[in-house]
């Protein structure tokens, strides 16, 4: 398998090259912008890249021959994930242990990338956290952490990366939101609201950057089988019992395909696409009771009592 060396461009098929040429047909990089990073390797930087959807997206880009940089807080899983990518795809993968909510995270990320002679060509903002239960019963500090990670850190990283991408007239941002961003979500109120922000921001900035040679996509998956839901304590909510989750790999394939094709909103899975259309069309007053019923956390005890009665 071909190794990505420091100065080699990412491997691209003819179709991908033609698509790139078409999407950048009216754009020209600013003078000197590409030369300024000519000694560096363009990297796909994936926050939340050590687990779940972020890792699967990083693996999908690496499979296409691109150099990836995985960003998360815990170094152990990060290094394992990077080593597995190098072993499985022969692409270069770097582990960067960094809390993206830290004040200086965008600058620290640049510095850490530069240590490996990399720069951010594609930014995948995937690190995110959920929180379930009644809003007024949730810990105020945890709500703040959620907003910091899901909205503030994502916004700051994107704001930091975009000017360079625009100047080079290449690269892009793939923000990870959620299908939940299309509706208010009782019992996950702050989480759903944070994802609505991500969709709104991405669609608006995507409009502003159209024709600039910079792609801007937002991924809105329904439930995906990762550590995310157990961590939130929602394993017994009805949506976990009734909606078949996608695998992280299925979500990542859809994300990669949608990003390469220049789609603005990417919803993986046919059923989720139908949900997305319904959520876009139907008024919130109709959807709220259904979404609330699906999301309400339920005790494990209730399920076993039901099962006992059924036997």
Ligand X SMILES: NC(=O)c1ccc[n+]([C@@H]2O[C@H](COP(=O)([O-])OP(=O)(O)OC[C@H]3O[C@@H](n4cnc5c(N)ncnc54)[C@H](OP(=O)(O)O)[C@@H]3O)[C@@H](O)[C@H]2O)c1
Q: Does 99 bind ligand X (CB under 6 A)?
A: yes
Is residue 85 within 8 Å of residue 59, measured between CB atoms?
Answer: yes
Q: Does 112 bind ligand X (CB under 6 A)?
A: no
Q: Which of residues 145-164 bind ligand X (CB under 6 A)?
A: 149
Q: Does 100 bind ligand X (CB under 6 A)?
A: yes
Q: Toward ligand X, which CB reaches closer, 37 or 129?
A: 129
Q: Does 268 bind ligand X (CB under 6 A)?
A: no
Dihedral Cα 110, 112, 113, 116, nearest 10 deg = 150
Q: Toward ligand X, which CB reaches closer, 16 or 73?
A: 73
Active site residue 197: no
- In angstroms, what is the minimal distance from the CB of 71 to ligand X? 6
Residue nearest to ligand X (CB): 128
Compute CA distances 143 → 39, 99, 139, 162, 190, whole Å: 42, 17, 6, 28, 7
Number of residues that bind ligand X (CB under 6 A): 29
* Sole window of 45-53, 58-66, 267-275, 283-291 interacting with ligand X (rule: CB under 6 A): 45-53
Q: Does 258 bind ligand X (CB under 6 A)?
A: no
* Sole window of 19-27, 114-122, 221-229, 260-268 interacting with ligand X (rule: CB under 6 A): 221-229
- Sheet containing 93-97, strands listed edge to edge, beginning at the edge strand earlier in sequence: 93-97, 67-72, 41-47, 118-125, 172-176, 215-219, 265-266
Q: Does 127 bind ligand X (CB under 6 A)?
A: yes
Q: Which of 10, 213, 221, 258 binds ligand X (CB under 6 A)?
A: 221
Q: How far is 132 from 120, CA to CA, in rounded Å? A: 33
- The alpha carbon dihedral of 223, 51, 16, 21 has a sign of positive
- In angstroms, what is the minimal distance from the CB of 29 to ligand X? 30
**Helices 52-63 and 248-261, packing angle to 10 deg:** 50
Contacts 24+ apart (CB under 8 A), 246-252: 246/221, 246/222, 246/272, 247/56, 248/52, 248/53, 248/55, 248/56, 248/224, 249/56, 249/59, 249/60, 250/224, 251/53, 251/56, 251/219, 251/221, 251/224, 252/53, 252/56, 252/57, 252/59, 252/60
Q: Which of residues 160-189 bind ligand X (CB under 6 A)?
A: 176, 178
Q: Which of 42, 52, 206, 213 binds ligand X (CB under 6 A)?
A: 52
Catalytically annotated residue among 26, 119, 187, 191: 191
- In angstroms, what is the minimal distance from the CB of 253 to ligand X? 15
Q: Toward ligand X, which CB reaches closer, 138 or 178?
A: 178
Q: Toward ligand X, which CB reaches closer, 20 or 99?
A: 99
For residue 252, the Cα-to-chain-centroid distance in whole angstroms is 9
Nearest to 110, CA basis, from 58, 146, 163: 163
Q: Toward ligand X, which CB reaches closer, 168 or 239?
A: 239
Positions marked catalytic: 191
Give residues in contact with ligand X (CB under 6 A). Answer: 47-48, 50-54, 71-74, 99-101, 126-130, 149, 176, 178, 221, 223-224, 226-228, 231
């Amino acid at each position: 398998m071909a190794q990505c060396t420091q100065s080699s461009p990412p491997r691209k098929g003819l179709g991908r090259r033609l698509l790139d040429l078409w999407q950048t047909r009216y754009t020209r990089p600013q003078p000197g912008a590409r030369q300024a990073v000519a000694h560096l390797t363009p990297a796909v930087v994936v926050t939340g890249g050590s687990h779940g959807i972020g890792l699967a997206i990083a693996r999908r880009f690496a499979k296409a021959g691109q150099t990836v940089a995985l960003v998360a807080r815990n170094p152990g899983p990060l290094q394992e994930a990077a080593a597995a990518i190098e072993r499985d795809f022969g692409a270069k993968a770097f582990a960067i242990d960094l809390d993206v909510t830290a004040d200086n995270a965008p600058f620290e990320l640049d510095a850490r990338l530069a240590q490996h002679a990399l720069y951010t060509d594609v930014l995948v903002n995937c690190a995110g956290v959920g929180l379930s239960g009644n809003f007024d019963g949730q810990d105020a500090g945890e709500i703040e952490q959620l907003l910091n990670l899901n909205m503030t850190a994502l916004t700051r990283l994107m704001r930091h990366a975009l000017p360079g991408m625009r100047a080079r007239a290449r690269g892009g941002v793939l923000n990870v939101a959620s299908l939940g961003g299309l509706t208010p979500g009782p019992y996950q109120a702050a989480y759903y609201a944070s994802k609505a922000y991500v969709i709104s921001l991405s669609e608006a900035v995507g409009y502003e950057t159209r024709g600039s040679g910079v792609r801007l996509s937002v991924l809105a998956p329904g439930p995906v089988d990762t550590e995310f839901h157990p961590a939130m304590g929602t394993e017994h909510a009805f949506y976990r019992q009734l909606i078949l989750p996608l695998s992280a790999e299925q979500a990542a394939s859809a994300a990669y395909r949608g990003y390469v094709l220049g789609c603005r909103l990417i919803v993986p899975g046919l059923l989720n696409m139908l949900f997305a259309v319904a959520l876009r069309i139907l008024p919130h007053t109709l959807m709220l009771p259904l979404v609330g019923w699906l999301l309400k956390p339920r005790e494990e005890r209730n399920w076993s009592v039901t099962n006992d009665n059924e036997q």
